Each structure stands twice: as C-alpha cells, then as structure tokens.
Amino acid sequence: MKLIKDTPSLFNALNEHEVEIEAILRIEKAIKHRDNGTGAHTIRVSKYSGLIARHLGFSEKALDDLMLASTCHDIGKIGIPDYILYKQGTLTDEEFNVMKKHAEIGHDILKDSKSPVLREAADIALCHHEKHDGTGYPRGIKGDNIPLSAKIIAVADVFDSLLSTRAYKPNWNINQVIHHLEFNKGKHFDPTCVEAFMANMLEALKLRDSFEGDLSYVFDFTSKLKLHQPEERFQELFQSSPVGIAMIDQLSGEFLEVNKQLLDYTGYTKEEFLKLTFWDITPKEYEFQEIQQMHDLNAYGYFGPNEKEYIRKDGTRFPIMIQAFNASHNRKSEGRNIVWGIIQDISKTKEKEDQLHAMALHDDLTGLPNRRLLTDRVRQEIAKSSRNKTKFALIAFDIDKFKPVNDRFGHIVGDTLLREISSRASFILQRSSDTICRIGGDEFVILLPDIDSVLNATLIANKIRTAFEEVFEIDGHSIYITCSMGIALYPDHGIDELILFRLADDALYKSKNMGRNCISVSSLDY
C-alpha cells in the first residue's frame, strides 16, 4: 500500500480547534441520537453559559472554551438504559438513582484527556447537578467546592430544561422559571451566576426565540468556535484525545493516520495499523452496516453514531461506537476522499449499562428482584401459562411487627435482618424459575411457576414460614420473628397481574387479621 509521506500537510486544513470541536460535537451527537430532546438544548445551554461567563468577566478564550466544554454536560446519558432515558412520565426512585449515574459516566468518559477543554468538560459533566447548598449529586459538594464552570452550566441547564417540554413534564412559562431561579438563589444555584444571568435575561430570551424551527445554529455555532492554532498543538490534541481518531481513505478503506488511543484499543503499532484497511478490523457480519455507512457518507456527509465491533490484533473483539464525517471540503490529497472516523471503545460503558440495568431491576439492600422485574416475569408467566394451560402462584408475605425490631435494635440491624430473611427464603426456593422479590420495607412477593394447586403453593409457603421461626443471630442479638402470608393462584383467582397482586395482598392482610403467623388463600374467583 502506498502511504502519504507528507502526513503533517494533511492536517494543515484541520487545525487544532477544528478537530477538537468536531470530536466533541461528534461525541455529543451520540447523545442527541439517544435522546432527541438534547440537540437544541445543548446548544442553547452553551449560548446561555456564554452570556453568564461574559458578564462574569471571562476572557474570550476562556469563554469559548466554556461554551465548547458545556456541550458535553449530558454526555454520560450514553450509558443510561433506553427504557429510563425514553420513559414517558415520572421516574421511580430506583430509576432516578440510575439516571443520576450519568454525571459520573460523563466524567469517566472525559477525565483522562490531556486537553484542557475536555478536562473542563469532565468537571462540568460531573458537577453540573451539584447544588450551592450541598444537596445535589453525585458528591454532595457545595459552594466554592463546585467548579465555576459547573455552577454556570447548572443555571443555564435548568433554565432551558424548565422552559422545554419533556416526555416526563410540560414546559413552564418564563415567569415561573425566573421565579424558580430567584427563589433557589443560594440554595440550588450560585447567587452570582443567577444575578449574571438575570442581567442578561432579555438577550437569553432573544437567543431562545432565534432557535425555534431553525437548525442553522448548529453550523453557525461550529464555525464561530473555529480558532487557528499551530500544527504542533493540533498534533498534541490529536494524540491525547480520549477517543480513537483515524483519517481514512473512503474509497479504499486505507488508514492514513491514527492516534494513540485507537492503537491502544486495537493493540497494533502505528506501522502495523497503517498497513490495514477498516475491512481488516471489521467482523464480516458487519458488512451490510459498512455498506450503509458508506451510503450515508455519500448522501449526507456523515454517518453514526453506530455500534459495532472491531477486531484487536490478538483476534479478540470489543464493542465500539463509531461515527465519521467527510472532510473532503477541508482537504483532498492525491485524489483521496478523506474521512475522519471517531471511535470509542464502549466496553466499560456496556458493562456499566448492564450494571445500571441490573440496579434498576433489583433491590439495593437485598439484591433481590424488585417490583419492576417481578411484574415483567409475572406477565411472561401469564403468557406462558395461558399458552400451555398451566398454573402458577403468587405468595405475598411481610414480617409481623417488623417496626418494633427496627425501633429496638436500630436500622442497621433491621437491614441485616431483611438480608437474612431474603437468604433464608431463597434457600427454600430450590427451582431456578422461582422468583422472590422485595417490594419495599418488609414486604416480599414470591412467584412460583408451574404450581398445579393451592395445596402445593401452601406447602412451599409453610416451609418458608416455619424457617422464619428459627432464631436470627445478628450482631449479638437473638431476634425472633414471624410472618403473615397470602396466596393467589393463576388462573383460578385471576388472569391479570394487577388482580393477582391485589388478591395475594388481600389474603396476606386476612392472615394478619386472623392473628398473624399464618397463611391465607384468596377466596375470590374471576
């Protein structure tokens, strides 16, 4: 393969800040593809932040850096599961705890960069949900411990979010939003930043109006931030980028230049890598995707972000997020159509997404499935049982007089007791298809598939009930408990999950009314 020897000349037209902007905007574009509401929001937040920073006396360089870094404030949303990110309506507490992780995910993506702008972006991603009084997340820092850039973005972000309609809320009017900022000055927001924004409110509203129905701001924003820097500074940025970047010949697929991060991802030396084409490191099953990406490049000038896999030098695969844009308008060399590819190893993101998904479906204290996961499994069981003409049982139970245990021994002992209860009940349930779920507090529900009678469900329930009568030894305390249980059988008592849950719960409270430490069966037939 013939290589272009005058490599530095290929970069002359794409100076440092151009590529820095392209890299950041392409990464941020991945978020816009996952959450469509963030596109104009991201740019508006950047513009509002610029108004605040200018009022606070930022230099032009510092102001431009802040505006650029601010576009990554929600980049961590790339690691949030779709069913939470796109949920219609209010998030549950568990789902909100998962959503809050986006601040740390964004920081992890950006923190290792040698670029000052990207390091500032990492601080913003981590801290823009912190509050002036210390009640924010993820670290609960306050006052001067919060970076000024994050304080500025916090005001701009909330202002624009409240004025915008989202899947989970209607928009507020401008008077409500201004009142919110003023009321929370010194609580949620840094007072100086709020005052600076209020002083520029008319300009902010003009900016917002100019965005309605007009997408030209995206291109205008990029062009206004392009600053020419020396070639050496570009090379420094290119090689220190936290994501992989490659220059590719679109027609042949040859790699013309590659940065250190992409070499680290794949395990090749630079000399080895520049002898490859993107076909050499792409698994064959992605051939159709590659053809589609080439079509998009020709039709639109870019593609992605798309998920796929690359093959390392040792033959192993790893997941990536890739996007590319045609740079032919900047440079053509020896008849080559130049494409810039931005590649991110998303192995850790995938792992975190799996962890976050598990967190959203499991109870933090006991590790048991939560209500969401149980409901999903019950629905699946209804479909299966209906198809196969089989039955299943739900057993609801709670601990009799659990509150006095907490009051006497404290919540730490109480939490340990709940974990021990979970373990003891799980040990009784021998089948992998059985599911025990903690609904909340001391309330649990058990799903028993393929149970053909109330009698068999009662036998299993009684094993668990008697197991709880044995003493629990916790932190030097001997604790004795009992439980009350209620059973509902599908389809004998109900054919809908909500009805079955209610009937099992009704039977549980029937047991309590009978004196506790007993088992009741639903008496209603539907």
Q: What are 477-499's pLDDT values in tens digits?
A: 999 999 999 999 999 999 999 99
Judged by average pLDDT, the poorest of 14-18, 289-293, 326-330 is 14-18
Residue 367 shares a structural domain with residue 515: yes
Judged by average pLDDT, the poorest of 78-92, 301-315, 340-354, 366-380 is 78-92
Q: Is residue 395 part of a domain?
A: yes
pLDDT of 133 reads 95
pLDDT of 139 reads 95
* Domain edge (last residue) among 280, 314, 347: 347
**Statement: residue 270 has pLDDT above 80:** yes
**Statement: residue 430 has pLDDT above 60:** yes
Residue 334 shares a structural domain with residue 382: no
pLDDT tens digit sequence for 61-71: 899 889 988 98
Count of C-beta atoms within a 10 Å radius of residue 49: 28
The percent of residues above 90 in pLDDT, for the chain, comes to 52
pLDDT tens digit sequence for 396-423: 999 999 999 999 999 999 999 999 999 9
Is the model more confident about 16 or about 433? 433
pLDDT tens digit sequence for 154-199: 999 999 999 887 666 778 888 889 889 999 999 999 999 999 999 8
Helical residues (DSSP H) of 302-450, grouped into ranges? 347-361, 371-388, 402-409, 411-428
Tell me the average pLDDT across 145-159: 96
pLDDT of 441 reads 92
Is the model more confident about 147 or about 14? 147
Q: Is residue 125 part of a domain?
A: yes
Residue 338 shares a structural domain with residue 390: no
Residue 454 shares a structural domain with residue 308: no
At 517, which CATH number?
3.30.70.270
* Domain edge (last residue) among 306, 323, 347: 347
Rounded Cα distance, 309 and 343, in Å: 10
Helical residues (DSSP H) of 362-398, grouped into ranges? 371-388
Q: Is residue 379 part of a domain?
A: yes
Those residues whose C-beta lies under 8 Å from the C-beta of residue 455, and which sit 6 or more positions away, are: none
**Statement: residue 8 has pLDDT above 50:** no
Residue 203 shares a structural domain with residue 252: no
Rounded Cα distance, 191 and 175, in Å: 18
Residue 189 shares a structural domain with residue 51: yes
Tell me the average pLDDT across 390-401: 96
How distant is the alpha carbon of residue 479 from its chain centre?
41
Is the model more confident about 23 or about 325? 325
Give ∠ CA 252-321-21 in degrees, rounded to 5: 85
Residue 512 shares a structural domain with residue 426: yes
At 154, which CATH number?
1.10.3210.10
Residue 504 shares a structural domain with residue 368: yes
Tell me the average pLDDT across 418-440: 94
Distance of CA 350 to CAs 252, 354, 371, 453, 522, Å? Answer: 31, 6, 24, 43, 44
pLDDT of 518 reads 95
The total of structural domains in the chain comes to 3
The percent of residues above 70 in pLDDT, for the chain, comes to 83
pLDDT of 228 reads 39
Return the structure tokens found at 10: 């290929």
**Statement: residue 135 has pLDDT above 90:** yes
Q: Which domain holds residue 52?
A: 35-211
Residue 75 shares a structural domain with residue 188: yes
Rounded Cα distance, 152 and 249, in Å: 41
| Contact (CB, 8 A) for 425 and 438 | no
**Statement: residue 229 has pLDDT above 70:** no
Q: Is residue 170 part of a domain?
A: yes
Residue 386 shares a structural domain with residue 510: yes
**3-class secondary structure, 340:** strand
| Contact (CB, 8 A) for 84 and 95 | yes
Q: Is residue 330 part of a domain?
A: yes
**Statement: residue 347 has pLDDT above 90:** no
Is the model more confident about 110 or about 235? 110
Give ∠ CA 278-283-289 in degrees, rounded to 5: 75
Element at 508 (helix H, strand E): helix 497-513
Indicate the average pLDDT of the chain.
83
Q: pLDDT band at residue 306, thresholds of 50, 70 and 90?
A: confident
Tell me the average pLDDT across 215-240: 47
Q: Is residue 393 part of a domain?
A: yes
Judged by average pLDDT, the poorest of 169-178, 245-254, 466-475 is 169-178
Residue 201 shares a structural domain with residue 304: no
Give ∠ CA 107-89-25 in degrees, rounded to 5: 35
Q: Is residue 514 part of a domain?
A: yes
Q: pLDDT band at residue 30, thresholds of 50, 70 and 90?
A: low
pLDDT of 28 reads 54
Residue 201 shares a structural domain with residue 52: yes
Q: Is residue 238 part of a domain?
A: yes
Is the model more confident about 229 or about 292? 292
* Domain edge (last residue) among 347, 380, 396: 347
Q: pLDDT band at residue 29, thresholds of 50, 70 and 90?
A: low
pLDDT tens digit sequence for 115-132: 788 889 999 999 999 999
At 272, which CATH number?
3.30.450.20
